[in-house]
Amino acid sequence: RSSGNPLFLEEITLSVIASKSLVEREHTWELLQPLSTDLVPASMEAALMARLDRLGESKELLQLGATLGREFSFDLLQAIVSVETTELQSMLLQLVEEGLLHISGSTPVFYVFKHALVQDVAYNSLLRSTRQEHHSRIAQVMEEQFSEIPKRRPELLAHHLSGAGRYKEAAHHWQAAGQLAVERNAVNEAVEHLNRGLVDLGQLPQGEKSLHRELELHTALAPVQMAAYGWGSPLVQSTCKKAFDLARSLGGDEDRKSTR
């Protein structure tokens, strides 16, 4: 059933061992009762969900960590949760011992998900409303207590603002992330960030949309698309056309000049 997937094979093995159907002896394993087919998870996701459900209170912490990203710092997590330091360390240690997280670094301490799929399953197991609350809380803490993060990596704050439904603010930070990527000559990253900004603007009701922000994003996107895909790319033509149309609808020579 694992189809040779090492992570899935490991999860199947852990599920069988956790069932108490097998007991380890000195040189072998002894089968204490017949193995039920229900013990073997039907999919990788089902196997991971079963493990998450056995975590107890630590499950919520893992889900919050998954909302933070593939890796997260102890300091940021501690600022978000209302848990005593020793208790938080104990819960994180349990997740490390369970093989769901790894510790990276010492000062500051970072926790990294064992596999991207573990993070995905933990994140997707959240209710949509809870997920939005987590993103909102994370964005608030980043803005108020960890302001160096948005300055250094504005895409992180943009991601959480987007997840919190604060699309207008998210678009602003996606634009900033795109500009930083351009300064590093990371054109593919810049394209991704600027497109994310346009997607978030598209989530806003018609009356709340900022045409000026949309124009700025398109005029920033066109040159990096040229660098990434070439001048003759249909994507470049489409972006330039949208920029000219927006400038025309806004009126004023200044806006049209910015698209040249």
For 82-139, the pLDDT digits (tens) are 889 999 999 999 999 988 999 987 778 999 998 888 999 999 999 999 999 999 999 9
What pTM does this model have? 0.82
7 within 8 A of 44, measured Cβ to Cβ? yes
CA distance 260 to 258: 6
193 within 8 A of 169, measured Cβ to Cβ? no
SS3 for 113?
strand
Q: Which residues contact 9 (CB under 8 A, 6 or more apart)?
A: 2
| pLDDT score for 189 | 96
163, pLDDT greater than 90: yes
CA distance 18 to 67: 27
259, pLDDT greater than 80: no
Rounded percentage of the chain residues whose pLDDT exceeds 90: 65
* pLDDT tier at 252, thresholds 50, 70, 90: low
Q: Which of 150, 161, 155, 201 lies closest to 178, judged by CA? A: 155
Q: Which long-range contacts (CB under 8 A, 24 or more apart) does 3-7 make?
A: 5/44, 7/44, 7/115, 7/117
* pLDDT tier at 255, thresholds 50, 70, 90: very low
Tell the residue number behind the tokens 């600022």, with chain if given: 79
